[in-house]
């Protein structure tokens, strides 16, 4: 029973640390569109939140940044970033 408690506690600590790490991976850029080499653009409702767009980026090794355009409803995943453009309808994240 003690071993089960130890394993459960260790697993909980591991999961908690993973959650904190995921939140710290991207530098948030409000009202900014990042430009660069596009890996993919998603327009389905599934990717119309910052969290979903960031998760898509995290799932791809080649992704260095993402931009969510809330007006268009698009999530753009970038392989590199060449510039930043001001846009009130955008939220971007740049991998740290």
pLDDT value at residue 9: 36
Q: Does any domain span residue 82? A: yes
Provide the sign of the torsion angle of the four alpha carbons 33, 37, 40, 43, taken in this order. positive
Neighbours of 62 (CB within 10 A): 12
Number of structural domains the chain divides into? 1
pLDDT surpasses 70 at 12: no
Share of residues in the chain with pLDDT > 70 (%) = 75
Q: Does any domain span residue 84? A: yes
Q: Does any domain span residue 4? A: no
pLDDT surpasses 50 at 58: yes
User: In this predicted model, what pLDDT tens digit does every residue of 20-50 receive, in sequence order?
Assistant: 444 548 999 999 999 999 999 999 999 999 9
CATH assignment at residue 80 = 3.50.4.10
Q: Does any domain span residue 85? A: yes
Q: Does any domain span residue 19? A: no
pLDDT value at residue 60: 95
Q: Does any domain span residue 5? A: no
Q: Does any domain span residue 68? A: yes
Q: Does any domain span residue 73? A: yes
The answer to whether residues 66 and 78 touch, using CB atoms and an 8 Å cutoff, is: yes
- Containing domain of residue 90, as a range? 27-95
User: Could you tell me the pTM of the whole model?
Assistant: 0.75
User: In this predicted model, what pLDDT tens digit does every residue of 86-95 receive, in sequence order?
Assistant: 999 999 999 9
pLDDT surpasses 60 at 3: no
């Amino acid at each position: 029973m003690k071993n089960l408690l130890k394993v459960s506690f260790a697993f909980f600590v591991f999961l908690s640390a993973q959650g904190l790490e995921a939140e710290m991976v991207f530098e948030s850029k409000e009202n900014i569109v990042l430009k660069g080499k596009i890996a993919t653009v998603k327009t389905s409702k599934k990717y119309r939140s910052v969290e979903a767009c960031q998760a898509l980026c995290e799932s791809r090794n080649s992704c260095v940044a993402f931009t969510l355009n809330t007006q268009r409803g698009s999530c753009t995943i970038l392989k590199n970033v060449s510039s930043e453009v001001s846009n009130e309808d955008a939220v971007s994240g740049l991998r740290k």
